[in-house]
Structures are given as C-alpha cells and as structure tokens.
Chain A
Amino acid sequence: SQTIHQWPATLVQPVGSPLSLECTVEGTSNPNLYWYRQAAGRGLQLLFYSVGIGQISSEVPQNLSASRPQDRQFILSSKKLLLSDSGFYLCAWDLMAGRETQYFGPGTRLLVL
C-alpha cells in the first residue's frame, strides 16, 4: 500500500531563517506531487505541483521554492521566512491529476516568529 511521509511534524522558526520541508511517498511510482498551505481557518492554497523529477510548477509567486530530486521526494524550501509563511503545510500525491483521489501526508505545522 502507498504511504506518504512528511517531516518535521512541527517547526518554530524565526523570521528570516531558512526552511526545508520534506515529503516522501512509498509504494507507488511516477506520482504527481503537490505542496499546499492551509492558514488558520482558511482553505487549501496550492503552492507547487510536480509531474516528474525536476519538473516544478508554481501556482503562487512568493519566497518559497520546491524541488523534486527523486521520483518520490518533494522538498519545499525558503531562504528567508516571513511571518506570513506560518501555516499548515500539506504534501499530497495522486496518479492522474484531477481524475483520481489525492492522498495527503500528515502535514507540517510551521510557526514563524
């Protein structure tokens, strides 16, 4: 069966510090991978998606970036965090964008102080 991991589970970082969140998927090949952010009381905001190694599409211009160095690994990064980067970061995967279920990881709760 497929499993999706995210770490860390929680993170408290000062403004201006760097960020690296990691997501890995097990039990499937060539998944589409997604990064979402959910601010408190808000909906899911799609940040990045990837259909393959090295292929990244950005949905929202901001100080975040994403990389996919391996088929089942997706990394979200920032060089300098802003207060507005606080939120719940979710990684998700599917096999057929828009036609099959997306499966979400457990999420990383980020608080920028």
Chain B
Amino acid sequence: QKEVEQNSGPLSVPEGAIASLNCTYSDRVSQSFFWYRQYSGKSPELIMSIYSNGDKEDGRFTAQLNKASQYVSLLIRDSQPSDSATYLCAVGGGSYIPTFGRGTSLIVHP
C-alpha cells in the first residue's frame, strides 16, 4: 500500500512570512513528486513537479526533495492571502498512478 502523509493543518502564517508544507511517502521506488493547489470548491492545479533530490525554485515557490528520507516539501516565500488554499502532495513512479495525500490547509492572514 503506497501512502502519502500530510499534516491536515490548518497551517496559519502571517502575510509576508514563509509557509512550509511537508509530505512523506512510503514507497522507496517513487520517482515523481507533485504539488497541487486547490482553492475551496475548485479543482486541483499543479504548482510544481520535482524528480531529483535537492531544491527546485519557481518564483515564490521552492520544492525540496530528499529521497533518502522519503520527504518532499513546498516552501512559499512572501506568503499572500491569495495563497490560502489546500495543498496536495502527489507521489508517482514507474507506471503506477500517483498517490495523493489528503492535503494541508494553508491560511495566510493579513
């Protein structure tokens, strides 16, 4: 059973702070890692994908992957109220369908 764990939150951060979202996974052979953002009542949309150990940056977002520790995180710098959403971690690999975590609710307060 492939498992992806996320703290459900809510994670509350002040505007302008760094939000750190974490995800652990159980399958060591996982190769592909995705972060999605889902606003209330809307469908998930991709923020970032990461495939190699280390950091990947895209604007205010940084994904960090540590395969040895089976850990992937998403950092949001200069958090804005518009970043308030649920963030879903998904883990895939080989030819199997990605497994989604249950998501972390982020609240950025002014």
> Which residues of chain A have a CB within 8 Å of any CB of chain B?
34, 42-44, 46, 49, 90, 96-107, 109
Give a binary string over B80-110; 1 marks a CB under 8 Å from any A CB, 0 the rest.
0000000010101111111011110000000
Please tell me if the beta carbons of A101 and B34 are within 8 angstroms of each other in the complex. yes
Complex CA gap A44/B44 in Å reads 10
Which residue, B42, B92, B98, has most C-beta atoms of chain A within 10 A?
B98
User: Which of B43, B95, B103 contacts A43 (CB under 8 A)?
Assistant: B103
Interface SS of A by simple majority: loop
User: Which of A34, A104, A105, A106 contacts B97 (CB under 8 A)?
Assistant: A34
Please tell me if the beta carbons of B46 and A97 are within 8 angstroms of each other in the complex. no
Residues in A with CB closer than 8 Å to B44 are 44, 90, 104
Q: List 28 A-B contacts (CB under 8 A).
A: A34-B97, A42-B102, A43-B88, A43-B100, A43-B102, A43-B103, A44-B88, A44-B100, A46-B97, A90-B44, A97-B92, A97-B98, A98-B31, A98-B32, A98-B94, A98-B95, A98-B96, A99-B32, A99-B92, A101-B34, A101-B46, A101-B49, A102-B34, A102-B46, A103-B46, A104-B43, A105-B43, A109-B41
Q: Provided the pairs A43-B100, A44-B88, A98-B95 are in contact, do residues A107 and B46 lie with their beta carbons within 8 angstroms?
A: no
User: Which of A98, A103, A104, A107 contacts B98 (CB under 8 A)?
Assistant: A98
Complex CA gap A104/B98 in Å reads 13
Residues in B with CB closer than 8 Å to A109 are 41
Complex CA gap A108/B55 in Å reads 35
User: Which of A97, A102, A106 contacts B95 (CB under 8 A)?
Assistant: A97
User: Which of B31, B42, B88 contacts A107 (CB under 8 A)?
Assistant: B42
Residues in B with CB closer than 8 Å to A107 are 42-43
Residues in B with CB closer than 8 Å to A44 are 44, 88, 100
